A = this chain, B = another copy of it.
Amino acid sequence: MSVTAAAGFAAAGVTAGLKKSGGLDLAIVQNLGPLTSCATVFTANRCQANPVIWSQQVMKDGVVSAIVLNSGGANCYTGTIGFQTTHATAEAVATGLGISAGDVLVCSTGLIGEQLNLDLVTAGVVDAALALKTDAASTPDAALLAARAIMTTDTTPKQSVYVAPAGWTVGGMAKGAGMLAPGLATMLVVITTDARLSSAQLDAALRQATRVTFDRLDSDGCMSTNDTVSLLASGASGIEADEAEFTAALVALCQDLTLQLQADAEGSAHDVAIEVRNAASEPDAVTVARAVSRSALFKTAIYGNDPNWGRVLAAVGTTDAAFDPYGIDVAINGVQVCTAGEPDQPRELVDLTPRAVSVVIDLHEGDETATVWTNDLTHEYVEENSAYSS
């Protein structure tokens, strides 16, 4: 139950043969209207994949009728041929669904620098388009097939749904198990709603939501070339959602998906929430939390169940945030191991055996707070990423 939970959407997931490992690898989500509003957030990476370049053009008018996603290849740094493949994919979807190619978003994920097999993609699109014409396409089962088709190293599909008391619904699916970094990650997210909202309204809500959720998930510090978060509104509920209420629901939904992505991050053994309190500004809080989330030494220590708080402060010290090095408190899983830059409670009191880890850093400089979510750095991460080339 995710992208088909809201009225006015159909989904399909099929096996096109793009993934070497086999299995579902192509999905389409269709907006049946009456509205075709859409908002998107793309990777901040300056090296952008062909589907990102294409989709940015599609978004110029804010009208999107369908989104097609494939795993098994990023279609990035594949040159003119690669762009033609993206274009042809959108054309195939347009033909299959009787819509305009200019209203079709394309998302790809997988290895960079390899051409996608267009024949396989096209055949997959035909299969998916047929499936979308059946009644089953609006069921939770169809949504689950789509959520499965976009998985790469994910071990589970990620879905979330919120039904508003006012009568509208928002649901979403996500993939991404590595490269979960700022400006998004190797992350593809499709969110649908049947609320009546314009593209501009969707855009404002989506930017606010991603800023405090997906953008603060930093599993391994790496930023993908393909990330796309899209939010489509069909208006099929007939209800004009209150913007503040919709934004709040969207934040909650995105946070749910964010934490699902964190929990399934490649090879991770701990989910770490790094909260910076009393920063002089929100950017300061995010900067400090992100620096800690990117410290290989901190992340390996957490893997080893070692509450090595010196590695936290060493990471804080690399930032330009406002702080007094000898005015910082650090607590790990509730044990205040450092107060005002001096040892406080014995580190031996910290229990790091649970998967969930909380690190609280109090800068005592203001009243702004931010949390960045990350994972530990494990043998399994090294294994997956040294072996993964497909």
Contacts and interface: CB of A to CB of B under 8 A. Distances in A.
Given A297-B178, A389-B306, A315 B222 contact: yes
Contact of A386 (B78, B220, B304): B304
A316 interface: yes
A383 to B, nearest CB: 7
Contacts of A166: none
Contacts of A220: 296-297
A79 B385 CA distance: 41
Given A303-B382, A317-B47, A389 B77 contact: no
Contacts of A77: 310, 313, 338, 341-343
B310 A76 contact: yes
A368 interface: no
A45 B297 CA distance: 15
Interface stretch (A85-93, A109-117, A137-145): A109-117
A169 interface: no
A333 to B, nearest CB: 16
A348 to B, nearest CB: 11
B386 A306 contact: yes
A86 B79 CA distance: 59
A252 to B, nearest CB: 29
A317 B179 CA distance: 13
Nearest to A44: B318
A44 B320 CA distance: 11
Contacts of A113: 309-310, 313, 337-338, 343, 347
Given A77-B338, A223-B318, A297-B222, A313 B47 contact: yes
Interface in A115-173: 115
Given A112-B314, A304-B387, A341 B223 contact: no
A176 interface: no
Interface in A35-82: 44-48, 74, 76-80
Nearest to A378: B382
A46 B325 contact: yes
A314 B225 contact: yes
Interface string A352-390: 000000000000000000000000011101110111010
A221 interface: yes
Interface in A323-351: 323, 325-326, 337-338, 341-343, 347
A295 interface: yes
Contacts of A183: 318
A294 interface: yes
A281 interface: no
A343 B111 CA distance: 12
B385 A382 contact: no
A378 B382 CA distance: 6
A224 interface: yes
Closest 7 CB pairs of A and B: A112-B310, A304-B386, A47-B317, A79-B342, A300-B385, A45-B317, A46-B317
20 contacts: A46-B319, A47-B325, A76-B313, A77-B310, A77-B338, A78-B343, A111-B308, A112-B308, A112-B309, A112-B310, A113-B310, A221-B294, A222-B295, A222-B297, A222-B311, A222-B314, A223-B317, A225-B313, A296-B385, A379-B379
Given A79-B343, A300-B386, 17 more contacts: A44-B318, A46-B317, A77-B310, A77-B313, A77-B341, A77-B343, A111-B308, A113-B309, A178-B297, A222-B315, A223-B317, A296-B296, A301-B386, A303-B386, A304-B385, A308-B389, A379-B382
